[in-house]
Structure 1
Amino acid sequence: MGDITVSGPVTGINTESIVTALVNAEQAPKQSQINKQTQTSTAQLSSIGKIQAALDAFRGAMDNMAKDASIGGLTATASDANVSTVTLGAGASAGSYQLIVNQLATASKVATQTYAGGAKTVVNTGNTSTTLEISQSGQSYGVSVPPGATLQQVRDSINAQYSSVGLSANILTDATGSRLVMTSTNTGVGTDITIGGNSGLEVGTSVVSPPANAKYTIDGTPQESKSNTLSDAISGVSIKLTALSPLPAGVTGALPDGVTRVASTITVSRSNDTLKSSVKGFVDTYNALMTAIGNETKVTSNPDGSTTSSALTGDATMRTLQSALRAQMNALAGTGTLKSLAQFGVNTDSGTGKLSIDDKLFSAAIATNPTDIGGIFNGDNGLLARMKTATDSYALSNTGVLATRSTTLSNNLKDLQNQQDTLTARMAALKTSLTAKYTTMNNLVAQLTSQRSSVMTTLNALNKSNSDS
């Protein structure tokens, strides 16, 4: 009888490799599908994220340009930067204005009584919490003062809770002790701070300084403002008052009757250099968006003649986004002689969608029609507003096309991970089952081998006995 050569510990068969091969054969098709879909979804999610970032940057630049009249070729300066700073906005026009600042807007400032024990003085010596009430402009803000609270702790509590509404507190200390001083970022008449409650801090309070309006003149006309930032004093120009206008030479103290402080000049003027720089900034920002889209949709030619697609090659969403942008670039706008960027020498590459500037044509057009470019960009029907509108449906943070795509891809990746976990568990169970079956087989073979040995021993004994006879 020939030897049985079935393996394992007894049979000699490599059951572990057989189980592994069977499991791998079962796992391979589904694993390949999961790997491919995971790779695709991950690459697309990354690409969508890059384009979303580029689109957000582009739209942010559009917002800044819409607020900044420099895209219309204007620039603003203040002759005395110590007295005021100026910022251009939409609706500005060329002009010159004389500004005199006689008084800055100030905030209310209120102090508690002086505590001889300093900042560590316990202001609530009782067993229950009390309340400090701070009121301003019809609003009341409560500050809990727990038992054992110090003046310093009350200050910290005020700053932690109410800095967002403009309230702040500090402690001033001198030879007589410390006092809590409260003030606000809100300025102007009517913003007085008052102190109440039952904490004891309301007792003996004093007004350090009352709030006041800014007082100034523009071209000799007296005006007032609750704030030191004047957003409407000159159309399209924001003025921030930073100091009083200087006194005339030789004058100190109070101004004599009929004498005024020295005026500074705010000038809004047209600047072709500013206009060129602004248009170049628009071109660069637009091209950055086109580059981002191009990088994620391009097809790369390999040395062997094959091609490699990008994550979003042929993607319909990217095509419609590019089409929407190009449509606005080609549309006419403004009321001047020149109504498109192409007439200023700003051209579009038909392949990449990027913009380029013909410097010679651009300089000539600006020299003769500088105001026309402002009409192309600005206004409710200008290029900046149309670009924002054209990209709204793509860029909205939660419901936009790109956000929805990102959410879908993220959900796909979560589902693929669940599929992977299920497959891994199923393959582990299959391996356990197959291992158990081969172990049973080995045990059976071992039993058969043992029985064979016993039979062979008996037969050999019989054969020997017959031979001896």
Structure 2
Amino acid sequence: MASPITSSTGLGSGLDISGIVKALVESDTAAKQAQIKRQTSNNSAMISGIGALRSALTAFQDAMKKLNDKSAPAFNAYVATSANESVIKVKSSNSAVAGKYDIVVNQLATGSKVASQQFAGGATSAITAGEMTISQGGKTYKVDVASGATLQSVRDQINKELGASGISANIVNEEGGARLVFSSTTTGAGTDISVSGIAELEIDGTAQMSGTGAGYITALAQDAELTIDGLKVKSASNTVSDAISGMTLELTGVSAKAADGSRSPTALTIAADNDGLKKSVQSFVDAYNTLQKAITSLTTSSRDENDNLVLGPLSNDPTARSLVGDIRKVLSEVGSGDKLTSLSQLGINTQKDGTLEFNSTKFTAALNDKKLGPEIQELFTGSNGVFERMNKAIDPYNKTDGSLATRKSNLDKAAKNLSDQQAALDRRTESLTESLTKKYVALDTALGKMKAQADQITSIFEAINAQAKKS
């Protein structure tokens, strides 16, 4: 901006030079200044509005992502509970069936743990170079042991090369020497580890360790064994997903023994989760309404305290209008479900202000009378479900290279252009102020000289008159 004009009065003329210059400069620049100010204000408001709209869209998409979390499904029609999670934990899917089961866990699935022969030299014991073969459950892994290797370097090499396959090694220093101990995250009978190829590291994983020799440490790898309502089930893993339809069992411990030697069962209960479904649907409605209210505040007009009309930063914005239309279209579309194909069947309807109304009475009737609970998950999270269609509608606007990002980029360019215009106007204001000030100072100087000359002539004539009167 130009430097402010210091108030000064012409010594020769008595004119307010600063005031005159200021008025002339403002008359020359006022129109352009007003234009830049108006356009800058509008542009800044639109940039702010685009940012607020993108934030609202991102929050809505994050809410849908949370409700669509595959590890914690939000729209399961049933909920499963375990009476004793120290023995068994349970998760139900949408294909579960209400019921109750008594489960006894007789043993957990375990992995293989085997040890090499004992090395009196400890971790620094030399190991013969060669190709070591590690076998487990029909799979073989090759490890090339280089010359100069030690027990410790072999351990490190195994962990580096086979860690991703679930096989690890460590050194245990016991009385009399050290052993290379292998273990695996793979569980189940027949997954015992055997090692061959290098004589001093050979291990028969099916033979028990004895003395200083190699073998399995405590027991062979084993399957989990349990009974479900008295029916025997075996599993290579402690996560059992195919024993009861629609349920995943996580075995966490062995059932306690009763006084008669039998093991105490743990009760699993699967019941309709109407309250959970209602909560999840309400979460979606709340997230959508928050988005809709944010869009409304950005695109509609209001009145200030003086009853003046105030336009929203994105009022009459074509991109915002298009976005609203695409989002609302999803709400009215028919999904790909069987009996449940629209949100209105669950008591979800659009109101005049664009927000959603959730009729809990109609929702409860849909679950209890029409038995639509198992289909709610498909309606929201299934292929071509509400979430998928919503994201398809929003992504073209909100993704990194979407239309809103492009709009923001163009507005930033406009802001830079306006800033450049303001800088140019400031330079013109400063230059014009300096030029006019010089001219008026020169004029004032000339007027001052003329006044001095006039005063001098007046003084001469006054002196002549005075002399004449004396004579």
1:389 aligns with 2:392: yes
AA at the equivalent of 2:67: M
- The structure 1 residue matched to 2:274, chosen from 249, 272, 275, is 272
1:223 aligns with 2:200: no
Deviation at 1:288, TM superposition (A): 0.9
- The structure 2 residue matched to 1:407, chosen from 406, 409, 413, is 409
| Secondary structure at 1:55 match in 2 | helix
Distance 2:421 2:180 in 1: 70
Larger radius of gyration: 2
Distance 2:21 2:292 in 1: 53
AA at the equivalent of 1:190: I
List runs of 5+ in structure 2 lacking aligned partners.
Answer: 1-7, 114-121, 125-154, 172-176, 189-223
Deviation at 1:209, TM superposition (A): 7.7
Deviation at 1:379, TM superposition (A): 1.4
Q: Once the two structures are superposed, what CA deviation does each residue of 1:273-324 show, in whole Å capped at 9, x if it has no partner? A: 1111111111111111111111111222568876332111222222221211
Question: Which residue pairs with 1:355 in the alignment?
Answer: 356
Judge conservation of contact 1:104–1:244 (CA < 8 Å) in 2.
no
Q: Once the two structures are superposed, what CA deviation does each residue of 1:124-178 show, in whole Å capped at 9, x if it has no partner? A: xxxxxxxxx96576569xxxxxxxxxxxxxxxxxxxxxxxxxxxxxxxxxxxxxx
Judge conservation of contact 2:187–2:237 (CA < 8 Å) in 1.
yes
Give the 3 Å change call, closer, same or farther, for CA 343–75 of structure 1 in structure 2. Answer: same
Judge conservation of contact 2:348–2:359 (CA < 8 Å) in 1.
yes
The alignment yields a C-alpha RMSD, in angstroms, of: 4.2
Question: Which residue pairs with 1:456 in the alignment?
Answer: 458
Question: Which residue pairs with 2:257 in the alignment?
Answer: 248
Question: Which residue pairs with 1:333 in the alignment?
Answer: 335
Give the 3 Å change call, closer, same or farther, for CA 275–212 of structure 1 in structure 2. Answer: closer
Q: Please give the residue correspondences for 1:41-60 in structure 2 after superposition, counting only pairs within 5 Å.
A: 41-60=43-62
Judge conservation of contact 2:9–2:18 (CA < 8 Å) in 1.
no
| Secondary structure at 1:458 match in 2 | helix
Q: Once the two structures are superposed, what CA deviation does each residue of 1:390-417 show, in whole Å capped at 9, x if it has no partner? A: 1111120x21122222222233223322
- The structure 2 residue matched to 1:300, chosen from 284, 299, 302, is 302
Distance 1:377 1:193 in 2: 48
Distance 2:9 2:166 in 1: 99
Q: Please give the residue correspondences for 1:205-216 in structure 2 after superposition, counting only pairs within 5 Å.
A: 210-213=183-186, 216=224
Give the 3 Å change call, closer, same or farther, for CA 15–340 of structure 1 in structure 2. Answer: same
| Secondary structure at 1:11 match in 2 | coil
Q: Once the two structures are superposed, what CA deviation does each residue of 1:234-257 show, in whole Å capped at 9, x if it has no partner? A: 99877777x544553579xxxxxx
Distance 1:105 1:138 in 2: 20
Deviation at 1:106, TM superposition (A): 11
Distance 2:13 2:289 in 1: 71
- The structure 2 residue matched to 1:372, chosen from 372, 375, 388, is 375
Q: Please give the residue correspondences for 1:1-400 in structure 2 after superposition, counting only pairs within 5 Å.
A: 8-66=10-68, 67=70, 68-82=72-86, 93-94=96-97, 100=105, 102=108, 138=160, 189-192=166-169, 210-213=183-186, 216=224, 220-224=233-237, 243-245=252-254, 247-249=256-258, 269-301=271-303, 307-349=309-351, 351-368=352-369, 369-370=371-372, 371-396=374-399, 398-400=400-402
Deviation at 1:329, TM superposition (A): 0.9
List runs of 5+ in structure 1 lacking aligned partners.
Answer: 1-5, 115-132, 141-185, 195-203, 252-258
AA at the equivalent of 2:167: G
Moved more, 353-362 or 215-224: 215-224
Judge conservation of contact 1:187–1:211 (CA < 8 Å) in 2.
no
Q: Once the two structures are superposed, what CA deviation does each residue of 1:168-200 show, in whole Å capped at 9, x if it has no partner? A: xxxxxxxxxxxxxxxxxx787324479xxxxxx
Give the 3 Å change call, closer, same or farther, for CA 262–413 of structure 1 in structure 2. Answer: farther
AA at the equivalent of 2:398: A
Q: How many residues are matched?
A: 376
| Secondary structure at 2:74 match in 1 | helix
Deviation at 1:334, TM superposition (A): 3.7
Deviation at 1:104, TM superposition (A): 7.3
| Secondary structure at 1:21 match in 2 | helix
Distance 1:420 1:235 in 2: 71
Give the 3 Å change call, closer, same or farther, for CA 212–374 of structure 1 in structure 2. Answer: closer
Distance 2:443 2:92 in 1: 88
AA at the equivalent of 1:359: S
Deviation at 1:464, TM superposition (A): 3.8
Judge conservation of contact 1:336–1:375 (CA < 8 Å) in 2.
no
What TM-score do the two structures reach when normalised by structure 1? 0.67
Distance 1:88 1:26 in 2: 77
Distance 1:406 1:99 in 2: 62
AA at the equivalent of 1:381: N
Give the 3 Å change call, closer, same or farther, for CA 105–427 of structure 1 in structure 2. Answer: farther
Give the 3 Å change call, closer, same or farther, for CA 319–463 of structure 1 in structure 2. Answer: same
Distance 1:429 1:346 in 2: 66
| Secondary structure at 1:310 match in 2 | coil
AA at the equivalent of 2:390: M
Judge conservation of contact 1:75–1:271 (CA < 8 Å) in 2.
yes
Distance 1:106 1:408 in 2: 63
Deviation at 1:449, TM superposition (A): 2.4
Distance 1:213 1:289 in 2: 47
Judge conservation of contact 1:230–1:238 (CA < 8 Å) in 2.
yes
| Secondary structure at 1:10 match in 2 | coil
Give the 3 Å change call, closer, same or farther, for CA 94–28 of structure 1 in structure 2. Answer: farther
